Structure 1
């Protein structure tokens, strides 16, 4: 912790004697210590009683508890035997068991007959079920295939339509008659012959008038013949269309009649299917009614069994509750038997504790008597010895080297030198506060405090951080400095203690 020394040395002669006025006190301390040591005070052993032991009241209570514990044990054993027998029989007493046996032996309603009837009604192969299913499935349906065949024969064009369709379509209008041209040709030849005969009789054959008359006669015959043929063909066309329409109407009526017959057949078949479905449904409903009757009887039997077992369970639970209540009474009975003894024991314990307190007080008084002389000498030593070491005369020769700043001074900083000088001149009072040289060293301002060694004068060193600061410092604690040297500690304006490090880290004062 200390540093090196300078090569320069100083020599002085000094002699330190105890402070004169303190010498009588020091002699008193020595004489008193020798007298106390010689008398054996502080080394004597206490020979009185140390344990109070059991008093008469406590012993009486314990004896009472012991005697009545046996009686309570007999009652508990009797209750345990009763409970064990009760639980071995399922929690029921003999009377409950007999009543339960008789109750469970009551038979239910016989369902054999109802079950047989329900089975027959539910048989899917019964006559009603099979007949209804066949009817519903069309086994007995009327056949409408003949009507359908006849109706199919009415499809396509009829013979009348095939024969008259060309006429109705006007195929022969406009000269399409293959025989008309031959008839017109012969008529035109006859007309030309007549014109020639007439003009020949009058001697004008071959004249221009002859040619015009011939042409008019021939043209008129062709036009007249074609006009008549066109009119006749139009009449035949109307007759053919009327005949085709009449035939179609007749076929439509016949087809409608056939379709009506087919629909009537289908309607009849649908009615039969409904009848069959109703018959099958009726059979199923009868089967359901039989099953419901069977289920009702089975439900009644189940309800009877549940009631029987419920009554048996209720009886067993009642017996078990009675047994448990009896056991509870046994415990209370034991408590009542032991209560007076416990009361005596508690009262005796209070008396025993009071007697033990008396013994402890005697032990404490003996210890104080043994410590009293030494304590008084210690108080006188705390006053006289420091006073005796503060004065004296210089009669002894010593040689002193001037030390360099050590590790502690380097850690604390160069401000300590100035602080030491100012401290020697009395520049700071007990409220020096934060003036140079006085460093905050109050433990209340620090945290993370750990021991770090000791100074040569015995003062402890510690590592710590000031609250709110992460930097680590090494230094002393103000409250420890105040014990050794109150003048090295001052109270700051913030109510925290400062330390004059130059004074506090020096040798013994």
Structure 2
């Protein structure tokens, strides 16, 4: 007798599904995400003003300072007077009349003292030449043209504005216009579809209706995630680009104001140098007056009415010159007062501009939060 052995093979099949109570919520989240994406929520670009404009106070203040700088300043009056005085050898018409009267007095040899006075007051005297060069502006600081060029460059479009304007305008927000990203979407979609094929082939359900639905869902889920991530990335880049452009514009405004102040300082320095030249000329006139006083100081003149009268004319002329030059020395301070109202207005305008910029920044932040809120809820 023989024996027989029977072998049976039992095939088992298992299938994994999401946790049943979570299926409805997952489907709702996916549906809401697709609806949000299709509706364009979150794709808006803030269309309001991004940079606070220079206010009326700032513009008025800057224009006031510019007008004052361009107009005839008070320093020119003192300079003109001192130049005229040096051009006449330091002798006013009144003083000249007194010297003429003095020269008519007989028996007095004043040639040596007069020659000394002439040398002191001569236009060829190096001290007088130095004073004249300062007063004429020959030794002025010459940096104003360079400051003007620097100001023009500071107000030109920055590299950030030139290079990031397209990103700031949202040119890159649409992922479908990015060829490189589209290649990524295509590759990822193919990978997701291939993974479904392999999974269903392993379970023997390749080609079934469940396979078609799962494959479509896998591809859609992959593409939705990629598109959402790409959009969020470009939105952040857009916000960053706008921030960089705004910062560059604000820096340009501050730099322009600084250059304007520097130009004003140069002009003030030049005025002070010219008036310093006038004061040097005044010192020369004092020395000349001292010599002329010695000419008139001899005892032999004390009883001479003609000399006494000449002394009166000369003294009056020297007093007038001294008072005029003293008044000229006060002109820089008076001239600076013309710029004070403009500087005050510009300072007030700067404070108001800063507040306007804070309000603009707050409005942009509020707008972006409203744009992001629905996506944050889905996340």
User: For the superposition of Structure 1 and Structure 2, which TM-score range results when normalised by the shorter chain?
Assistant: 0.3 to 0.5
Greater strand content: 1
Query: Normalised by the size of structure 1, how large is the TM-score?
Result: 0.31
Greater Cα radius of gyration, structure 1 or 2:
1
Query: Normalised by the size of structure 2, how large is the TM-score?
Result: 0.40
